[in-house]
Amino acid sequence: MEGDAISRREALKKMGQIGIAALGAGLVPAALTSGEAWGAPASKVCVATGGNMAGRLGKLLKGCGGIERFVRKGSKVYLKPNIGWAREPQDAADTNPDLVELLIRLCYKAGAKEVRIYENTCDNYVYCFQKSGIKDAAERAGAKLYAADSKQYYTSIKVPQGKALKNVDIVKYLQEADVFINVPIAKNHSAARYTLGMKNMMGVIFDRGYWHKSGLDQCIADFMTVIKPQLTIVDATRILMTGGPKGPGQVKELNTLVAGTDFVAVDAYASTFFGSKGVDVPYIRLAGDMGLGTADLSKIKVEKV
């Protein structure tokens, strides 16, 4: 009996060692596995500022582990910029066309089989595609651009965890694509306060009016329970400070890009460009509460590259 007894100190030491070992065992595999582990306990968001677009994007993607982490050889990529409005690049209402073009090219360089862009525009699509410069950008870089303006592009899915949204019509290609990359532009928004990554998802559904009638913020959060982009890149090259989402309004040049795999954390961080604290934006707080990502800025690791 006496030989087997452990002193209190020894017991505490042993528990400490096991504890550290367990912690280490938990952390090490987490560090080794790519991407998914970022969600817990601290989310990571990469930010690149300054320089030209190509340089900025390069550093940003490197910080995220490289485009190859998301786009494998033979991948079908659904790229989702914001092309909702018939505005020109300097009006900061749509995603910067240079960013879109660069991304398409990088996807192909990483071995993508095809890159497609589907957008359910708000204004008439011929003017949106033309004025934003994204029609030409997609043509030059070899991506197919579609206006998802009629039911034929959509399929209906259920939202089992949805509180306000129970089912929704989504662009069919979402189910065919291997990779879904969200490339919104950061803007002020009259109804939703700010439109960043999660709000940009309203361009892949058919009936936006329903969300407005059923509780906009809750629907935005509900949707993210079923559709999760692997990577979100927020275009903050120029941001729209007032009069959003269509403008015209005050444009601020930030020459910044924000990226991450946690779409809630990316949105929370990007909202700080407007002086927000993330959680004071209703849909960001709701998404955080539903466990879809980290909305608390204090828990988000910001890596400036």
Partner 1 sequence: MQHIHEVVIQMRNLRRAFQLIFFLLFIYAFLLTTYPLKSVLPHNLFFLLSPLSAAISVISAHRWIAAFFPAAALVIFTILLGRFFCSWICPFGTMLDLVHRLFFSGAKNREVTFISRFTKYYILVFVLVTSLFAVSPGYLMEPVTIAFRTMTLAFFPSIFIIWKSLGAIPLPGGFPLAPSSMVLFAGGPLFLAVFLGIAFLESVTRRFWCRHLCPMGALLGVCSRFTVLHKKVSDACVECGICRNVCRTGAIYPGNRDFLPSECVYCYDCKALCPKKAISFGLSKPASIEPPVGRWLVMKDYRMTVGNAEVPVLSRRLLLVSLGGGVLWGLVGEADYGSRMKYSRLIRPPGALPESDFTSLCLRCGECMKVCVTNGLQPTLMEAGFSGMWTPRLVPLRGYCEENCNLCSQVCPSGAIRPIEVKEKKRIAIGKARIDSGKCIAWYEGLKCLVCDEHCSYRAIYWKEIRGTNRPYVDAEKCVGCGICENKCPTGPDPAIVVYATGDVMKDIPQL
Q: For binding to partner 1 (CB under 8 A), which residues are involved?
A: 86, 122-127, 131, 147, 149-150, 189-192, 208-210, 212-213, 215-217, 243, 245-246, 248-249
Task: In angstroms, give the least distance from the CB of 85 to partner 1.
Answer: 9
Of residues 86 and 183, the one with the C-beta less far from partner 1: 86
> Per the omega criterion (within 30 degrees of 0), is the bond before 282 cis?
no
By beta-carbon proximity to partner 1, the closer residue of 41 and 209 is 209
Q: Min. distance of Cβ 243 from partner 1 in angstroms?
A: 6
What is the SS3 assignment for 66?
Answer: coil
**Closer CB to partner 1, 130 or 255, in the complex:** 130
Least Å distance, CB 211 to partner 1, is: 9
3-state secondary structure of 294: coil
| Residue 188 vs 261, nearer CB to partner 1 | 188
Q: Are 258 and 268 in contact (CB under 8 A)?
A: no
Exposed/middle/buried for residue 74 (C-beta within 10 Å: 0-12, 13-18, 19+) = exposed
Which is nearer to partner 1, 81 or 243 (by Cβ)? 243
Rg (CA), the chain: 21
Kindly give, in sequence order, each residue whose CB lies less than 8 Å from that of residue 283, ignoring residues fewer than 6 positions away: 192, 198, 199, 216, 217, 218, 220, 221
